[in-house]
């Protein structure tokens, strides 16, 4: 993979997806439901980053949809679901984000521990 210029990180993918999603939501001529709009979002991402985009949408789609109305920018939405780090802060797990529920708790063992939901994730989500 020589071409580093097109490699996008999760934060950038999230921001582009959120901006596009927001644009589609505001377009009155788009009469699709949220799931149909979410399906389209990753089509604007460069092909080699689409699997990552799809993973973001599959995991966070409903949260992105609800956060768009509450937060001012795509970056804030992506910070809220922990795909972008807040500038100048050491990345912390838990806190306010624990209110996002199982999709947030079970992203990783660190998230699950920080939210006190490790047992839940092991029993209900990860079940290996």
Indicate if 39 and 16 belong to the same structural domain: yes
Indicate if 99 and 77 belong to the same structural domain: no
Instruction: Give the Cα separation of 67 and 60 in Å (integer).
Output: 10
pTM (2 d.p.)? 0.59
Instruction: Give the Cα separation of 12 and 8 in Å (integer).
Output: 6
Indicate if 76 and 109 belong to the same structural domain: no
Asked whether the beta carbons of 104 and 97 are under 8 A apart, the reply is: yes
pLDDT in tens, the chain (128 residues): 334 445 678 888 889 888 988 888 787 776 777 778 877 888 888 888 888 888 888 888 878 888 887 887 889 989 888 888 776 554 555 666 777 777 777 777 777 787 888 888 788 777 65
Q: Which two tokens stand for residue 127?
A: 């079940």
Q: Domain count of the chain?
A: 2
């Amino acid at each position: 993979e020589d071409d580093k210029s097109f490699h996008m990180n999760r934060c950038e993918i999230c921001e582009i997806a959120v901006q596009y999603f927001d644009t589609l939501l505001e377009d009155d001529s788009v009469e699709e439901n949220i799931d149909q709009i979410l399906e389209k979002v990753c089509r604007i991402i460069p092909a080699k980053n689409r699997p990552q985009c799809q993973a973001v949408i599959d995991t966070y789609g409903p949260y992105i949809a609800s956060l768009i109305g509450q937060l001012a920018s795509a970056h804030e939405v992506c910070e809220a679901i922990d795909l972008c780090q807040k500038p100048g802060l050491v990345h912390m797990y838990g806190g306010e984000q624990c209110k996002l529920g199982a999709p947030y708790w079970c992203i990783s063992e660190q998230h699950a521990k920080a939210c006190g939901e490790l047992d839940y994730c092991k029993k209900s989500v990860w079940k290996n």
